[in-house]
Amino acid sequence: MARIDTTIQFDMRAPDWATPPATLYAEALAMAAYADEIGVDRIGLCEHHGSEDGYLPSPFVMGGGIAARTERVRIALGALVLPLHDPVKVAERIAVLDLMSNGRLDVILGVGYVPSEFPRFRVSMRDRGKLLDQGIDILLRALRGERFEADGREVFVRPLPVQEPEAILLAGGGVEATARRAARFGIGLAPLSSGLLPVYTQECTKHGRALGKIYGFEAPLGIHIAEDPDQGWARIEPHVVHAVTAYARWAAEAGWDNAFRNISTPEQVRASGLYPVWTPDEVVANASVLMENHNPLNFAPLVGGLSPDVGWESLELLKNKVMPRLRELNAHAS
């Protein structure tokens, strides 16, 4: 059996009727420290821009705050929309955050899919694939310590990270080009579908490279733990509905037929299984199935600006009734 990994996801959405942003950020840092103490494997930080609800636009800044509050948990940024950024600046931020965390950083690089984000950064969406490839090449060379010319400028990054750059970077996405890109550059893969894993394996073999890290992103995106699932759902429903419908709007804007499209009612959101409410027993029962395709147990204790009190209740059940049993399962798997 594969090892069962756990992730706490923060998107920092704060609709104006929910938890205020200042409270949300303070609680997220406290929750990250708690996750570190109880043995959670990873903190996930996403990136989007110009969202009415304040979706996290600066994962490196948030990652630095988490690095200062933790000692063991890995910090996974992603998907970072690299075409929207200067890759040299990103390389510097990666190096500093990897040093701050003593080699606990992972950065998932995406091409981006929300059309309205690109003109805000004076970037054409038509160029995103080319910019991503160019950006990954610059990141790898710069973080290896090379001094070189790119785009008519000298690139030289110091300090250098604790980890090798190939151990930090992953390509994220849901199309075969993502798997081919990851294999070509010799980096990890964060696929939106397990169907990309055979492509990645074949392409790595073709290029004579070992497989890198694999982080799955199939549903569920954020598990809430409650002893009574119906009661638990009633408490998180407006926040989960807000998150899912917001993603659905972005999917519609992009013309992207993904898991969020055509989901709008609370009944549809709950039936989708994207943000399920499970008892501790259900979490443990589903853990092994999820990990078969490298999918961790994802928890989202502040989803859609959820009240921190409700999020803490879920995390306490994670600590007391789930993590001990997951440790036993992982001990048998190793």
Give the pLDDT confidence of 123-139 residue by residue, as tens digits. Answer: 999 999 999 999 999 99
Share of the chain above pLDDT 90, in %: 90
pLDDT of residue 290: 85
Residue 78 — pLDDT band, cuts 50, 70, 90?
A: very high
What are the domain boundaries of the chain? Answer: 6-333
Residue 170 — pLDDT band, cuts 50, 70, 90?
A: very high
At residue 311, does pLDDT exceed 70? Answer: yes
pLDDT of residue 218: 77
Cα end-to-end distance, the chain, whole Å: 9
139-164 confidence digits (pLDDT tens): 999 999 999 999 899 999 999 999 99
Per residue, the 3-state secondary structure of 298-329, as one string, reads EECCCHHHCCHHHHHHHHHHHHHHHHHHHHHH
Q: In terms of C-beta density within 10 A (0-12 exposed, 13-18 middle, 19 or more buried), how is residue 326 classed?
A: buried
The DSSP 8-state label assigned to residue 52 in this structure reads T
Compute the average pLDDT of residues 227-239.
98
Q: Which of 248, 213, 228, 232 is nearest to 299 (CA)?
A: 232
Q: Which two tokens stand for residue 88?
A: 């040299």
pLDDT of residue 263: 87
- The DSSP secondary structure of 248-302, one letter per residue, reads HHHHHHHT--STTTT--SHHHHHHHTSS-EE-HHHHHHHHHHHHTTT--EEE-TT
pLDDT of residue 259: 79
Distances (CA, A) of 327 to 4, 235, 333: 9, 29, 10
Residue 232 — pLDDT band, cuts 50, 70, 90?
A: very high
What's the CATH code, domain 6-333?
3.20.20.30
Q: Which of 215, 322, 233 is nearest to 273 (CA)?
A: 233
Q: Which of 75, 141, 130, 86 is nearest to 108 (CA)?
A: 75
Q: Quick check: helix, strand or coil at residue 240?
A: helix
CB burial string 173-191: b at 16+ within 10 A, e below: bbeebbbbbbbbbbbbbbb
Residue 260 — pLDDT band, cuts 50, 70, 90?
A: confident
Q: Which two tokens stand for residue 101?
A: 């965390």
Residues making up the chain, counted from first to last: 334
Lowest mean pLDDT among 56-65, 256-265, 322-331: 256-265
The DSSP 8-state label assigned to residue 48 in this structure reads -
Contact 141, 148 (CB under 8 A): yes
Tell the residue number behind the tokens 């290896």, with chain if given: 144
pLDDT of residue 168: 98
- The DSSP secondary structure of 162-213, one letter per residue, reads SS-HHHHEEEEESSHHHHHHHHHHT-EEEESSGGGHHHHHHHHHHTT-----
20-70 confidence digits (pLDDT tens): 999 999 999 999 999 999 999 999 999 999 999 999 999 999 999 999 999
Compute the average pLDDT of residues 72-80.
97
Residue 1 — pLDDT band, cuts 50, 70, 90?
A: low
Compute the average pLDDT of residues 212-239.
94
List, in sequence order, every residue forming a beta bridge with 109; answer none if it has no partner: 80, 171
Contact 267, 209 (CB under 8 A): no
Respond yes or no on whether the N-terminal peptide bond of residue 296 is cis (omega within 30° of 0).
no
pLDDT of residue 334: 67
Residue 87 neighbours by CB under 8 Å, 6+ apart: 134, 135, 136, 138, 139, 142
Residue 262 — pLDDT band, cuts 50, 70, 90?
A: confident
Q: Which is higher by pLDDT, 1 or 304?
A: 304
